[in-house]
Amino acid sequence: MADENFSELLTLSSSGLYCPAGDFYIDPWRPVKRAVITHAHSDHARAGSEQYLAAASSEKLLRVRLGHDINLLAVSYGEIVTLNGVRVSLHPAGHILGSSQIRLEYRGRIAVVTGDYKLGADSTTESFAPIPCNLLVTESTFGLPVFHWPRSEIVFSEINDWWRANQSEGKTSVIYGYSVGKAQRILAGLDRSVGPIYCHGAVHVGNQAYLESGIDLPPSERISDIEATRGKQIDWHRGIVIAPPSAHGTPWLRRFGAISTAMASGWMAIRGTRRRRAMDRGFVLSDHVDWPELLSTIHQCKPEAIWVTHGFSSIVARYLSECGWNAKPLKTQFVGESSDGGELETAADEAVKTVKPESVEG
Amino acid sequence: MRDFCLLYQAIDQTTKTNEKVEVMQHYFARAKPADAAWAVYFLSGQKLKRLINTAKLRIWASEEANIPLWLLEETYEWVGDLGETLAAVIADSDADVQGSLCDWVEEKLLPLASMSDHEQQAAVKNYWKQMTSVQRFVLNKLITGSFRIGVSQRLLTRAIASVAKLSVESVAHRLMGNWSPTPQFYSDLIDPTKQSVANYLPYPFCLANPIESSVEQLGQSDDYLVEWKWDGIRAQVIKRDDELYIWSRGEERIEDRFPELVNLREDLPNGTVLDGEILAFKDGRPLAFAELQRRIGRKTIGKKLMADVPVEFVAFDCLEYDGEDIRQHPLSQRRERLQTIVEQASQAAIQVSPTIVASNWDGLEAMRQQCRQYEAEGLMLKPYSSTYAVGRTRGAWWKWKIDPYTIDAVLTAAQRGHGRRASMYTDYTFSLWDNGRLVTFAKAYSGLTDSEMRQVDQFVRQNTLDRFGPVRTVEPLLVMELAFENLQASKRHKSGVAVRFPRILRWRHDKKPEQANTLDELRRLAT
């Protein structure tokens, strides 16, 4: 992916996005000397690099993921670090706690790598703000015009209503979301007056990192802790359980008796993917931009060039080109091809497994 | 309309049959007869004639969404459902639909058919603006005649029966055949005081359950009436008030398609209803289903076709005798009645389905193994003491099918699925070896688990050789064992062979593509 205008600033190498002038990588998929990390999900933050640079608010999560002894330079949002003459700064991406857009400036040219990002309200993460730039590298996980997110208040009131209805039918509510990011966003949106909130062990680990980072979350109880103190005979049905998607369909769920299951994800906007999950409910709650948000971001950044990655890159790049933007798709390692959005959030599902000290015991 | 959309959503959101019945009861208990009639119409799978062609809808939706048409098409390809795609590309406002289902259908949708393009466009775009995304989805489905919902006729019948405080059987009977979704129809449907049904209506068909374990668990073999399981067109023949009606299981009137059977009008006494199978029958032998298929779907039957593929009605049950509903009489008695009627019908192309006799289950098993010689799919087992049940009632009729043919084939192409499988490559094309080349011979859509489907989907994406529209050819690497019911020489198929009901039995991880079977081996299966 050589682009003459930006060849010093950013190229795509076999290890991922690379800044030749600064000699560092962004979210490399192989161990490298210096890695700038957009956020702590495992398809972006990979172990084994000699040095990491990431947002200070992502430090707890990154150390949980990558090990406590990683060599990490944690910087505040907006703080400029100069690497071999390239001015690097991190800015909120709104995706999860500590998620960043990476801004690179070299010889008056500015590139911004969004990482994963969203514009919708989320009290557990800093809000995204667009950054004017010459080159924008944007994700396109939900880059099709069928994706229009409902407002999160509406989604949370649906979730709380569902919880109440389950309670009245004597069923325990089980809602699935990735253990880092989505789970905490769900937790923060639950109505505590409805009943107790329980968390799977993997989610609990994520919660701790959020709390230690100073994010306010409603109190919740770790399932294994409750069982350790109160034994196995517990009536769960008034409560709601937050668990990673990998817990679905496992024997771990048996303890809850009658359950109603739900998935919280942007993919739930599509009937086919919703039904394929075989859950009782699907709530449309995404930590990525939807179609209008993607377009509005581009309009606000006004880049000369756009590289589209992670998701429907070919389709989005073609559309943007027709609208007069200089856009092209960027192939990444994570997807076999650009038109396959279906597996991306699954990749993040898998991330759960790297933090599961107890996915079975919960 | 809003309530109907909520009903749709509630049904769509649950996989539990009891919940589906509950939400339908809730709807019917409150709906006005005019709306309820249309709801019954749509829930029982009936459709409006397509009012607008979808090419126009695609253009209008892309205009409303402010996107180019190709983007809409790409999006549709990924979503896998046109009505949903058209509904979802338009951004939601705070609009919420007003007006009743009946008004929408009769005053807004049906008139679309007689409008000019321009008027249609203005009307449809205006309707879209008045709705939420889910409501637009339902509307699009109604307009395009592709409304489908996850409730069986049985569940719908149960819900109506409980609201009307009627038996499931009587509601099922009243729902048979053709009716118009009028308020009067619905009021009659739920009226407990109403006794009779129209004389042309068939009874609900009794359906068989497959034998899941061993036949020995059914008890003594001589308690059962045993017949071939015919592979034809299941039909009910009705003679009432000097008229003859023949209904297919799909509840279509089909007497016009089979001129051979019109003699039954003279030969059957009034007040007769027979159940059986229409088979292509020549020189005393049934012909393969593929032959009968040549007659299906043809409204006019030429002399040549009639001579090549004559049909007979092979009757196996009598539901009404001398004007009396005898479905509650034991099968042994009903068979005697049937015998009497058929013996009197000397002119017509009708016979009683032969009874198969063996001294025990082993003897029947031996007969079952020979069923293909009679173009049958196995045996039917019916207790002599059983009544004629409504629908697929357990313990009434059993089908004991022959094991299917199986063959190992190579996956060579794939296409995206629809509905639950939308956006994944789940529709597969399989090939067999022929002189060192792979030749396409069958398509199969079902049989893999969800997790296997995801793996194959990934495989297809990573091993695509070429793309032809929605179809991708892939590296010939995966071997699957396919099952099918029958095979027949065919000029329309590249392989020269047509297989019936192909489906995937299992993924042969243990086999390499070169170990898959050949076309020759396929042809030899039939001999």
Contact check, Cβ <8 Å, A144/B423: no
Cα–Cα dist B483/B513, whole Å: 18
**Is residue A334 pLDDT above 90, yes or no?**
no
Q: What is the mean pLDDT of chain B?
A: 89
> Number of helices and strands (H, E) in chain A?
9, 19
Q: How confident is the model at residue A339 (pLDDT cuts 50, 70, 90)?
A: very low
What's the confidence (pLDDT) of residue B236? 95
Within 8 A of B457 by CB-CB distance, chain A residues are: 342
Within 8 A of B91 by CB-CB distance, chain A residues are: 148, 292
> Which positions in chain B have a beta carbon within 8 angstroms of at least one beta carbon in chain A?
12-15, 65, 67-68, 71-72, 74-75, 78-81, 84-85, 88-89, 91-92, 133, 418-424, 450, 457-458, 461-462, 464
Mean pLDDT of the region A7-28: 94
Contact check, Cβ <8 Å, A276/B458: no
Q: Give tens-digit pLDDT for B159-218.
A: 999 999 988 878 888 888 778 999 999 998 998 887 666 778 889 999 999 888 888 888
SS3 A55: strand
The length of chain B is 527
User: Is the sign of the CA dihedral A331, A335, A339, A345 positive or negative?
Assistant: negative
Terminal CA-to-CA distance of chain B, rounded, Å? 58
Cα–Cα dist B442/B503, whole Å: 9
Percent of chain A with pLDDT over 90: 78
What's the confidence (pLDDT) of residue A154? 94
| Nearest chain B Cα distance for residue A22, angstroms | 34
Contact check, Cβ <8 Å, B462/A336: yes
Contact check, Cβ <8 Å, A340/B461: yes
What's the confidence (pLDDT) of residue A335? 40
SS3 A287: coil
Nearest to A145 among B75, B418, B461 (CB): B75
Spatial strand order in the sheet of A135-140 = A80-83, A86-92, A100-106, A109-113, A135-140, A305-311, A327-329
Mean pLDDT of the region A322-350: 57
Within 8 A of B8 by CB-CB distance, chain A residues are: none
Reported ipTM: 0.88
Interface test with A, best of B89, B141, B425, B460 (most A CBs within 10 A): B89
The residue with tokens 């409006």 is B48
Chain B contact for A324 (CB, 8 A cutoff)? no
**Is residue B257 pLDDT above 90, yes or no?**
no
Cα–Cα dist B390/B241, whole Å: 25
Contact check, Cβ <8 Å, A276/B79: no
Mean pLDDT of the region A109-118: 96
Distances (CA, A) of B484 to B316, B372, B405, B407: 26, 13, 5, 9
* Widest distance between CA atoms in chain A: 66
Cα–Cα dist A18/A36, whole Å: 10
Within 8 A of A145 by CB-CB distance, chain B residues are: 65, 67, 71-72, 75, 88-89
Q: How confident is the model at residue B288 (pLDDT cuts 50, 70, 90)?
A: confident
Task: Tell me the pTM.
Answer: 0.76
Mean pLDDT of the region B223-228: 94
What's the confidence (pLDDT) of residue A342? 34
Cα–Cα dist B177/B166, whole Å: 19
Q: CB–CB of A360/A207 below 8 Å?
A: no
Within 8 A of B71 by CB-CB distance, chain A residues are: 145, 315, 319
Within 8 A of B14 by CB-CB distance, chain A residues are: 280
Mean pLDDT of the region A263-269: 93
Within 8 A of A339 by CB-CB distance, chain B residues are: 74, 78
Contact check, Cβ <8 Å, A336/B81: no
| Nearest chain A Cα distance for residue B78, angstroms | 8
Chain B contact for A292 (CB, 8 A cutoff)? yes
Pull the structure tokens for residue B280: 């292509």
B524 or A318: whose pLDDT is higher? A318
Within 8 A of B133 by CB-CB distance, chain A residues are: 148
Q: How confident is the model at residue B299 (pLDDT cuts 50, 70, 90)?
A: low
Contact check, Cβ <8 Å, A271/B458: no
What's the confidence (pLDDT) of residue A93? 97
Nearest to A273 among B92, B418, B423 (CB): B423
Chain B contact for A343 (CB, 8 A cutoff)? yes
Nearest to B71 among A147, A319, A336 (CB): A319
Contact check, Cβ <8 Å, A146/B85: yes
DSSP state for residue B91 in the 8-state scheme:
P
| Nearest chain B Cα distance for residue A150, angstroms | 9
Contact check, Cβ <8 Å, A280/B13: yes
Q: CB–CB of B200/B245 below 8 Å?
A: yes
Q: Give tens-digit pLDDT for B29-65.
A: 999 999 999 999 999 988 898 789 889 999 999 999 9
Interface test with B, best of A146, A159, A312 (most B CBs within 10 A): A146
| Nearest chain A Cα distance for residue B75, angstroms | 6
Q: How confident is the model at residue B69 (pLDDT cuts 50, 70, 90)?
A: very high
Q: CB–CB of B444/B390 below 8 Å?
A: no
**If you measure CA to CA, which chain B residue comes closest to A150?**
B92
Interface test with B, best of A140, A141, A142, A144 (most B CBs within 10 A): A144
**Is residue A358 pLDDT above 70, yes or no?**
no
Contact check, Cβ <8 Å, A146/B15: no
**Is residue A325 pLDDT above 60, yes or no?**
yes
Chain B contact for A168 (CB, 8 A cutoff)? no
Q: Give tens-digit pLDDT for B99-116.
A: 999 999 999 999 999 999
Mean pLDDT of the region B294-321: 87
Within 8 A of B26 by CB-CB distance, chain A residues are: none
Report residue B191: phi and psi, to 5°.
-85, 110
Chain B contact for A162 (CB, 8 A cutoff)? no
Cα–Cα dist B317/B388, whole Å: 9
Q: How confident is the model at residue A273 (pLDDT cuts 50, 70, 90)?
A: confident
Q: CB–CB of B356/B368 below 8 Å?
A: no
Nearest to B420 among A272, A281, A341 (CB): A272
Pull the structure tokens for residue B91: 């951004």
Report residue B301: phi and psi, to 5°.
-110, 120
Mean pLDDT of the region A186-209: 95
Interface test with B, best of A276, A291, A322, A339 (most B CBs within 10 A): A276
**Is residue A345 pLDDT above 70, yes or no?**
no
What's the confidence (pLDDT) of residue A300? 96
**Range with lowest mean pLDDT among A204-218, A327-341, B371-385:** A327-341
Q: What is the mean pLDDT of chain A?
A: 88
SS3 A100: strand
Chain B contact for A321 (CB, 8 A cutoff)? no
Number of Cβ pairs closer than 8 Å across A and B? 78
| Nearest chain A Cα distance for residue B477, angstroms | 17
Q: Give tens-digit pLDDT for B361-404.
A: 999 999 998 888 888 889 999 999 999 988 777 778 999 988 88
Q: Give tens-digit pLDDT for A80-108.
A: 999 999 999 999 999 999 999 999 999 99
**Is residue B341 pLDDT above 90, yes or no?**
yes
**Range with lowest mean pLDDT among A214-228, A328-342, B438-452:** A328-342
User: What DSSP assignment string belongs to B447-499?
Assistant: -S-HHHHHHHHHHHHHTEEEEETTEEEE-S--EEEEEESEEEE-SSSTTSEEE
